[in-house]
């Protein structure tokens, strides 16, 4: 009898253990790990979606900013300071050896003509200035605007009224400027003296003529 009872108890415990094994609850750590992986995946998906939305939304704004910036540059170039309008500039240099150098800038219908004369035509009745033409350059509106800008940078209009001489210097060089700019007559004279920007403007004319 005791032996039968013991066998019955062993069988009952085996059956109970098997039932407990099959119906055991999932490991909380495994559930937490699975939940974490799902959360991380969800967060990454959300961040990628937000990043895509931000990128998509920012592209039109940047494009608009670039268009506005280009428009501002274009408008700024239109609003540039108006260049002086040259009708004519004649710059004469007389040396001590009966020799004259003269530059002339002349507005033409299609642009501008720049000329340089060198010789003693002022001292001989049978010669003309054209006989001593050294160099000449003809150009369109681009060249004209280049010279107008040079006149502005060198302050040619401000030369009006310049009159200075050093009479104690013998055999010096005298200069005279006669011009019409923006409809106004410009006149300057000097003996061993030149207004500010004069040399720079002459150099620009020489560079234009030799180019």
CATH level 2 (architecture), domain 86-210: 2-Layer Sandwich (3.30)
Rounded CA separation 121/118 (Å): 8
Interval 61-90 mean pLDDT: 57
Q: Which two tokens stand for residue 71?
A: 């428009």
Q: Is the pLDDT of residue 180 over 70?
A: yes
CA 188/CA 178 separation, integer angstroms: 7
Does residue 122 or residue 139 have the better pLDDT?
139
Other CB atoms within 10 Å distance of the CB of residue 103: 21
Is the whole model's pTM more than 0.75, yes or no? no
- The 3-state DSSP class for residue 102 equals strand
Q: Do the strands 112-119 and 133-139 form a parallel or antiparallel pair, or are they unpaired?
A: antiparallel
Give the C-alpha separation, 88 to 187, whole Å.
12
Give the burial class of 67: count Cβ atoms within 10 A of its Cβ; 0-12 exposed, 13-18 middle, 19 or more buried: exposed
- Mean of all residue pLDDT scores within the chain: 76
Predicted local distance difference test score (pLDDT) of residue 123: 72
Which tens digit of pLDDT belongs to each residue from 183-200? 999 999 999 999 999 999
Q: How far apart are CA 3 and CA 10, in angstroms?
A: 11
| pLDDT of 77 strictly over 60 | no
Which strands, in side-by-side order, build the sheet including 112-119?
Answer: 133-139, 112-119, 100-107, 86-94, 174-181, 184-191, 163-165
* pLDDT surpasses 70 at 133: yes
pLDDT level of residue 68 (50, 70, 90 thresholds): very low
CA 166, CA 152: separation in Å to the nearest integer? Answer: 28
Kindly state the average pLDDT of the residues 6-30: 53
Encode pLDDT of 165-178 as tens digits: 998 888 788 999 99
In this predicted structure, what is the pLDDT of residue 50?
52
Question: How many Cβ atoms sit within 10 Å of the Cβ of residue 2?
Answer: 6
Phi, psi for residue 6 in degrees, rounded to 5: -65, -40
Residues facing 181 on adjacent strands: 86, 184
Query: Mean pLDDT throughout 86-105?
Result: 91
- Distances 183 to 12, 84, 90, 95 between C-alpha atoms, Å: 124, 10, 15, 30
Mean pLDDT of 26-51: 47
Does pLDDT of 41 surpass 90?
Answer: no
pLDDT score at 171: 79
């Amino acid at each position: 009898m005791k032996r039968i009872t013991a066998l019955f108890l062993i069988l009952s415990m085996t059956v109970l253990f098997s039932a407990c094994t099959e119906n055991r609850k999932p490991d909380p750590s495994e559930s937490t790990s699975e939940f974490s992986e799902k959360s991380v995946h969800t967060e990454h998906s959300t961040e990628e979606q937000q990043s895509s939305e931000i990128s998509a939304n920012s592209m039109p704004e940047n494009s608009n900013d670039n268009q506005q910036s280009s428009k501002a540059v274009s408008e700024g170039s239109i609003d540039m300071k108006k260049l002086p309008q040259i009708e004519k500039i004649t710059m004469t240099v007389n040396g001590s050896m009966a020799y004259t150098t003269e530059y002339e800038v002349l507005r033409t219908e299609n642009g501008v003509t720049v000329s340089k004369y060198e010789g003693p035509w002022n001292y001989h009745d049978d010669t003309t200035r054209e006989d001593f033409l050294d160099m000449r350059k003809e150009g369109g509106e681009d060249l004209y605007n280049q010279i107008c800008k040079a006149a502005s940078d060198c302050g040619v209009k401000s030369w009006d009224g310049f009159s200075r001489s050093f009479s104690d210097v013998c055999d010096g060089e005298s200069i005279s400027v006669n011009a019409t700019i923006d409809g106004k007559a410009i006149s300057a004279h000097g003996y061993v003296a030149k207004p500010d920007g004069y040399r720079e403007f002459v150099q620009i004319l020489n560079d234009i003529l030799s180019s």
